[in-house]
Structure 1
Amino acid sequence: MKLTGKDFLNLTRRYPWPGRFVSAGKTLGLGAVALFLWGLASPAAAVTVNQPAPDFSLKSLSDVQFDLSGHRGKFLLLNFWATWCGPCKMEMASLEKLHRHFQTQGLAVIGISNDMFGARVVVPFMKAHDLTFPVLLDPTLEVSNRYEVVGLPTTILIDREGNVIGVLNGAEDWATPKTLRYFESLLAVPIQANRSSD
């Protein structure tokens, strides 16, 4: 059984932010600058569910190179965010709980910071909020533009083979029992059963 974007649509209890889920067959789209500033997004762009996630390389806070293609074999939850983004701050504690719960079970929670001042502002933020999940720096928005991220936070779930399972726009509570059950079910699927048949 292969879990799809539809499963991802229902995995969380949403905060009261008018973001939108993107399900299988749909894509993220361009929105107004005002929507970007308020952490909102509107439908239609580049990351397509059930298609390969665009490859990229970024430096982490500890100056280690991260290559997306080098992380096949585990599920990746990419969270595009910034320290100045109010909705992003709302979901950080629950993202950290998700990270701590599943980090040894095959799910990697990875933050991608859009802060133009990079580590100078991200490191103090991480320390102040007791966050330990890995964070990559994208100060020039190169990767964010490649993924056509137009609202923060935007979260993208990638399967073990590098395909996009789902995209969420807006802040989420990542630590609800329903969310944890979703990821437990996802991780319980045997690796071969998760592969698409040709």
Structure 2
Amino acid sequence: MNLYLLLSLPDEAFLPAAFESVVGREPDVIGLAHYVERLRSGASRALVLAEMRSSVEGQAHAAHAPDRELDILQRRYRRVRGWPLGRWRWIFLPRYAARSPRRDFDWALWFSHYSEARTPDHASATTGPETENKLAAIERRVDALSAALQLQQAVPLLGESGAAEQKTAFIQQTVSEAYPPAVPLTEVSWAARSIYAQMLQHISA
């Protein structure tokens, strides 16, 4: 990893390369939108990289992407961010002779195009037989879960352990018969993984 190389990249290449280098993965929708907004609001590239490095993922990936200059920047950022000077406190971060972002660069338009390019064509993705089979499997699973829930509500709790175990086994069998096979992560689209990340963030909020 090279801090100066990241800082010198063209605007359209900066954030994807920053994600790959600093956190070790491709951008997700939430993270990408956050840093696009940071850059649109005037945050410097150095500040964005310091924020990425200070994140949980950035710290976990730091050992796999060592860079002395970025570590110095990150340590200074962690001290400066507690100062009560608003956005002016970032002027105390180290300065780098790097490429300046174009003031006329449309980050919102770039974000829209980048997201669309990472998302497969909806027409081809939803009309194929493989997709239809997966949707049918999901519907069967929903039906099984619904039936199991109704059964659990309809059958009263029994004091006899044998009857309770029999009911539990029947519910598990009903659900497992319609449970679709696991899909490898490599077959899940970038958009689907991003939506899943948004759901997790919403649940944990």
TM-score, scaled relative to structure 1: 0.28
More helix by share: 2
More strand by share: 1
TM-score, scaled relative to structure 2: 0.27
